[in-house]
Amino acid sequence: MTTPASLTQDELKTLVGQAALQYVVPGEIVGVGTGSTVNKFIDALASMKDSIKGAVSSSTASTQRLQQLGIPVFDANEVESLSVYIDGADEIDGSGYMVKGGGAALTREKIVAALAKRFVCIADASKRVEALGGFPLPVEVIPMATSQIQRRFAAMGGEATVRLKDGSPLVTDNGQHILDVRGLVIRDPLAFESAVNQWPGVVTVGVFAHQRAHVCLLGTAQGVETLSY
């Protein structure tokens, strides 16, 4: 038998993905995020697909995975509210504030999170931080505003670079670009998110403070740790 201490990061992701099933409300539509940990949750969700109506997904990739497993996917415009949204994080602090967007789906993730009464974050222990900013902060931007947004981050002490894919700027599901900002320490995530979201040309900043986690299922060497905020 495998002991928790010997579990790989991939196995920890599987554990937290399975643990998230307890937050899925039978008979309802569940909000589903994006990323490698969420893929483990989607795989686990297939085991109870007959007891839910379906899912609202935050990305094309998650939608395809859900549909391949026979789980109906609804457009966000078809849903007034969700009881729960389950997604990963690139960083999460002691208040449930997160940095997200490493997978470039931050805007759609924030839209689905805003529909949900409860955000359940699933992550491994390496994602827990004292202060946000160690992970490069993703910011989805309209391309024509790229340079002026880079200058604004430089004035804050950050270095913003355009995320590339195959040598060209990555294009999001929304047809926009991503800036990854290094060198910031985000001490007041709520104020930071509010301020940057007001900059012309910013579609979404990857700080999730207004849509923070209510619960985090953290994969640790001792197993799954449940944190409530």
**Record: fold of 9-129+210-228:** Rossmann fold (3.40.50)
Name the binding residues: 34-37, 87-90, 100-103, 127
Is 109 catalytic? The answer is yes
CA atoms of 17 and 21, how far apart (whole Å): 7
Residue-level pLDDT at 107: 97
Dihedral over alpha carbons 81, 87, 92, 96 (to 10 degrees): 20
Q: Of all residues in the chain, what percent carry a pLDDT higher than 90?
A: 94
- Residue 53 is predicted with a pLDDT of 97
Looking at residue 9, what is its pLDDT? 87
DSSP code string of the chain = ---GGG--HHHHHHHHHHHGGGGPPTTSEEEE--SHHHHHHHHHHGGGGGGS-EEEESSHHHHHHHHHTT--EE-GGG-S-BS-EEE--SEE-TTS-EE--TTS-HHHHHHHHHHBS-EEEEEEGGGB-SSBTSSPEEEEE-GGGHHHHHHHHHHTT-EEEE-EETTEE---TTS-EEEEEES--BS-HHHHHHHHHTSTTEEEESEESTT--SEEEEEETTEEEEEE-
Residue type, 151: R
Annotated binding site for substrate: 34-37, 87-90, 100-103, 127
Quote the pTM value. Answer: 0.94
Asked whether the beta carbons of 137 and 205 are under 8 A apart, the reply is: yes
> What band does 174 get if pLDDT is binned at 50, 70 and 90?
very high
pLDDT tens column, 102-135 = 999 999 999 999 999 999 999 999 999 999 999 9
Q: Token digits for 12? A: 């920890």
Task: Express each pLDDT in 1-30 by its tens digit.
Answer: 344 557 888 999 999 999 999 999 999 999
d(C-alpha 224, C-alpha 125), whole Å = 9
Rounded to whole angstroms, the Cα distance separating 152 from 200 reads 11
In whole angstroms, how far apart are CA 77 and each of 7, 86, 109, 112?
40, 18, 14, 10
Domain map (residue ranges) of the chain? 9-129+210-228, 137-206
Query: Among residues 11, 28, 78, 109, which one is catalytic?
Result: 109
Burial category of 78 from C-beta neighbours within 10 Å (exposed 0-12, middle 13-18, buried 19 and up): exposed
CA distance 23 to 11: 20
Report whether pLDDT(146) > 50.
Answer: yes
pLDDT of 185 over the 80 cut: yes
Report the CATH superfamily, name and number, of domain 137-206: ACT domain (3.30.70.260)
